[in-house]
Chains A and B, each alone.
Chain A
Amino acid sequence: MMIRAPMFFPARGSVRFALLSAILLLIAGVFVTVYEDGLYRAQRIQDLSVHADILSASVTAALAFNDAKAAQEYTNALQADPDLEAAGVYNPAGTRIAGFVRKGTDPLPVHPQPGAYLIGDHIYVTEPVLQGSNTLGVVFLRGNIESLGRRLARYTAILLLVIMAVLVLAVSALAQRALARANTELQAQARALTKSNVRLHEEIQERGRAEEALRQSQKMEALGQLSGGIAHDFNNLLAIIQGNLQMLQRRTEQGRTDVQKYIESAMQGITRGATLTRRILAFSRQQPLTTSPTNVSTLTESMRDLVRQSVGPDVELDLDLRADWLTLCDPNQMESVILNLAINGRDAMPRGGKLRIRTTNMTVRATPEIAAGDYVQLEIIDTGTGMSEEVRQRALDPFFTTKPQGKGTGLGLSTTFGYIRQLNGYLQIDTKLGKGTAIRILMPRYNPQTAHASV
C-alpha cells in the first residue's frame, strides 16, 4: 500500500503534463507552420527571381542582336526545373521573341507585369533585361509552389511526430519518477537492515559474554570436581599411609620387627600418590615431554608380555601392527597410554573377550575434525560392554569413571586425550553398548624436515 498509493498520483499528473505539453506544442507547431510556410513561399519567390536574373543575363546579347534562336536556347535550358511552368523573353517593344509553356498550363501573358508576386499556387516574376542603363527587354517566369493542402499535410506529419516524441518523453519521465521512488524505498529498507544488523551484532556480543560467563562457571565447577576428586584420592592414599605408619609405630613400640609389610604398603601408597601427581601434571600439560621419533608398532611389540600380564588370562590379546611410519612422542608416555587403554579394555570385559591392538599408516584428507596429512593410527578395540551415548560423551572428562570406588581415578582417558592433543593428534571413541569399544588415536607422521619446528 505504501508503494502503490504515491505512484498513482504522479502517473495522472504526468499524463496531464504530457497532454498539456502536446497542446502547447500543437499551438507552437501551428505558429511555426505558418511562419515556415511564409519562409517557404519567400524562398520559392527568391528561387524564381534568381532564375530570372540568370535568364536575363544570358539573353542580353540575344536581345541586343535580335537573335530569337539564341534566346530560345537559353529559355529552353530552364525547362530542367520541374517547378517552372512558363518562361518568356520580350523585347523592349513588348514582343515575345522566345519562351515556353508547359503542357496543361496557362499561356504566356502578352504584357507581363513587372515585379515578383504570388497568386494562389503560382509565382510570377518579371524582370527587365539591362545592359548598363539600357533596357534591352524583359524576361518573364511563372513557377508553381506546392499546394497548400500538401504543405499542410507535410507539416501535420511533422507535428504528429513531435507529439509522439513528447508522449514518449512523458512516459520515460513517469518511469523515471517511479524508479526514483522505488530507489528511495530501497534505501530506507537498507537503512532499517543496517539498524537491525547493528542490534543483532550487539545481541551476539551479549550472548558471547553470557556464554563466557557460563563457561567460566563450568570451569569453576570442573575445578571443584577436580579438586574434590584429587582431595578424595589423596585422602584415601594418606589414610593408607597413615594407617600403615600407625601400625608400624604400634609394632615398633611393641618391639616387634615384622613391620616390613606396613612399610611396603605405605611406600605403595606414596608411589600411587606420586603417580597420581604425575598424571595430574600431564593432564594440566605442565609436565615437559621428552619426545623422540618413535615407531609405535615396535613400541607396542615390546610391550606384548606386559600387556598380556595386565589383561589376564581371560582376555585374548591380538596385535596387528602394520604401521611403519614414525611419530614424534614420549615413548614412556606412549607406553602408559597403551597400557592404560588395554587395562580399560580389560575392565570392560569382566567375563573375558578379545582385545585387539592395531597400528596402521593412514593418509587423511581434510575433514571437519581432522587436518589433512599422514598419520599413524593406533586402535585399541575390545569386545566388552561398550558405553551408552551419555557415558561416551563424558568419557574424556577428567575424574569421570564408571569403575567402582578405588579402582579408577577417572583420569586415564582424559590424561590420554590431553597428551594426544599435545602431540597434535586426535582421539576418537567408537562404541556400541553390549558390543564393545574402539579407541582410535591418530598421531601425525614424523617429518624430519619440520622436526625442529614441532614440540
Chain B
Amino acid sequence: MGRYLLAAFFVGLAALLPARAAQTGPLESAVKATFLYKFVPFVMWPAGAFESATSPVVICTLGADPVSDLLDEAIAGQRVDQHPLAVRHLQNITRDSPCNVLYIAVPDVAAATQAIADMRGRPVLTVTDSSRLPGVPSVISFIVDNNRVRFDVDQNAAAENNLVLSSKLLSLARAVRAPVRRP
C-alpha cells in the first residue's frame, strides 16, 4: 500500500513538475510509466485492434525494470476515452499475446530486437528505453534530454505494425525516423 502511495505521489509530481525538475531515478521512471498509456490516444489503430469502444487497452511489459514496476500505479484510475486500461506483465510473448502497447524491458538488445521482430505486422505499439536498450527498433524509444523525459519515434516500425502516429505526437518527439519510401 505504501508502495502504491509512493508511486501515486511520484506520478502526481511528474504531472505537476514537468520539464524543469531533474527527472532522475523514481520520478523519471514514473513519468515514463505515465507516458506509456498517454501514447495510446495519439495513435491511429487499425480496425480490429480493439474489440469494441469499451474493451480495455492492454499494456504489456516484457521483462522487468523500474518503469514496468511503476506501471500498475501509473495507470490506476486512468482511462483512454471509453477504454479502461489493463496491464499484463509477461516473461515471454508470442504473436498472439493480446497486447496493444508492449514495453520491452528485457535485459539485452538482442532479445528486445527479437521481441520486436516477433510483433512485426501486429497492431502493437512497441516501446523501449534507449538508456537501457540503445538502438532497438521499437516504435517509440524513451530518451532523457536535458533532464527531461522525451522520446524518439520510428515511423517505419509503426508502419510495419500498421500504426499511424498523430502529428501532435510527432511534433513532441525529439527525433522522428521517417518511413522508408519505397519506389
Which A residues contact B (CB, under 8 angstroms)? 58, 60-62, 64-70, 91-93, 95, 97, 131-134
Contacts and interface: CB of A to CB of B under 8 A. Distances in A.
Contact of A132 (B15, B41, B168, B171): B41
B38 interface: yes
A67 B15 CA distance: 10
Contacts of B35: 65
5 contacts: A60-B168, A61-B168, A70-B172, A131-B81, A133-B81
A62 B80 contact: no
A88 to B, nearest CB: 15
B79 A133 contact: yes
Given A69-B19, A91-B15, A134 B172 contact: no
A442 B31 CA distance: 138
A81 B38 CA distance: 32
A95 B42 contact: no
Contacts of B171: 61, 70
Residue in A60, A65, A69, A70 whose Cβ sees the most chain B Cβ within 10 Å: A65
Interface in B75-113: 79-82
Nearest to A67: B172
Q: What 5 pairs across the A-B complex have the smallest Cβ distances?
A: A66-B18, A132-B81, A61-B168, A64-B38, A61-B172
Contacts of A58: 168
Interface string B20-55: 100000000001000100100110000000000000
B16 interface: yes
A67 B14 CA distance: 11
B81 A134 contact: yes
B61 to A, nearest CB: 20
B164 to A, nearest CB: 15
A97 B15 CA distance: 11
B6 interface: no
Contact of A66 (B19, B79, B80): B19
B169 A61 contact: yes
B147 interface: no
Nearest to B20: A68
A65 B15 contact: no
B114 interface: no
The residue in B14, B18, B35, B42 that gathers the most chain A C-beta atoms within 10 A of its C-beta is: B18
A161 B161 CA distance: 68
Contacts of A69: 19
B49 to A, nearest CB: 16
